[in-house]
Amino acid sequence: MKKITLLLIAMAMIAGNAQHNSNLPETSKGPNIPYDKGYLVEEINNDLYWVTDGLYNAIFLVYDQGVVMVDAPPTIGENLLAAIKDVTNKPVTHLVYTHSHTDHIGAAALFPKDIEIIAQEETKKILEARNDDRRPVPTLTFEKNYELKIGGQHLQLDYHGKNHMDGNIFVYAPKQKVLMLVDIIFPGWVPFKNLGIAEDVPAYMKAHDIALDYDFETFVAGHVTRLGNREDVEVSKAFVTDLKNTCQQAFGKVDFMESAQETGFEDKWMMYNTYFEKVVDVATKEMHGKWMGKLGGLDTYLRDDVWKMCESLSVDF
């Protein structure tokens, strides 16, 4: 097993077992993960379950003949199989990839070789290029939508274009009113570094509105400690909107010429970067004041999120 995967597993164990010792806001705390098991599995409703290690989460849907798994985070790894066994003896027949990132699907090879693996076609292209044994290439792909209707259950898979990355899909269970969208919204937490490593910041922002168009009650984010709901998506939308406005205003609050006089004009990178970092500092301070106590992890990732938004404002918007 790759070193990085072991590191993630250790992080997940710590996340799952030590969260109540920290001074995080209540909103970023989730259920306790049973220490002996290292994972928690719970029914959301109507035979749709979520499984979590306190850092990553995935879902599975039980139908009359089998189980449809959505994502396979390697931090949960073999415990995905244990979680399914806790609930049913039915076999896993389908695996849906939300997107191609290893940290969400790197345990895919643990499932039987003959299952159907469903993903958006961009995800297939990326995985063919990666040629990674841990992430088998999808056996069934779609461009925009795919309806998985099976044994009285229904999953709607929708692609609304690039956001976090190419191929990242919305997974919707209409009967359960559950929406899964990974690496965009982090219920109770500031986004992971650089807006969850967003490849397209305008589309990352727009994904919030697309999510809110679905008729859902429970939101599954892929991270972090707990399930989300509509309010979490609204809060995340308010955060990124505030982030954009605050960064925009911060550019006007730092005088470029004044900053350039400190560095001189000869070293162009130093001249620009010094100015840019001052803008990031101003915006980070303001955002920290406004969001403290509302989201977890501000001290860790807020500045990186500000940096990403300021960069995006310079090139995308």
Binds Zn ion by CB under 5 A, chosen from 24, 98, 101, 278: 101
Q: And the tokens for 275?
A: 């100015």
| Strand ranges, E, within the chain | 40-45, 48-52, 57-62, 67-70, 92-96, 116-120, 140-142, 145-150, 153-158, 170-173, 178-180, 218-220, 228-229
* CB 185 within 8 Å of CB 232: yes
**Which residues in 132-161 contact Zn ion (CB under 5 A)?**
none
Candidate ranges 97-105, 151-159, 205-213, 240-248; the one touching Zn ion (CB under 5 A): 97-105
Q: How far is the CB of 241 from Zn ion (least distance, A)?
A: 22
Q: Cβ of residue 78: shortest distance to Zn ion, in angstroms? A: 22
Cα dihedral value 183, 186, 190, 191, nearest 10: 0
Stretch 285-304 residues interacting with Zn ion (CB under 5 A): none
Q: Does the footprint of Zn ion cover residue 244 (CB under 5 A)?
A: no
Say how many residues touch Zn ion, by CB under 5 A: 2
Contact range with Zn ion by CB under 5 A, out of 183-191, 212-220, 254-262, 289-297: 183-191
To Zn ion, the closest distance from the beta carbon of 105 in angstroms equals 9
Looking at the Cβ atoms of 107 and 279, the one nearer to Zn ion is 107
For residue 183, state whether it binds Zn ion (rule: CB under 5 A): yes
Return the number of the residue (101 or 124) whose C-beta is nearest Zn ion.
Answer: 101
Question: Measured from the CB atom, is 177 or 193 closer to Zn ion?
Answer: 193
Region of 12-20, 100-108, 248-256, 289-297 interacting with Zn ion (CB under 5 A): 100-108
User: Which residue's Cβ lies closest to Zn ion?
Assistant: 101
**Distance separating alpha carbons of residues 183 and 95, to the nearest angstrom:** 19
Nearest in space to 179 (alpha carbons), one of 221, 225, 240: 221
Closest separation in Å from C-beta 239 to Zn ion: 19
Report the interface residues with Zn ion, using CB under 5 A.
101, 183
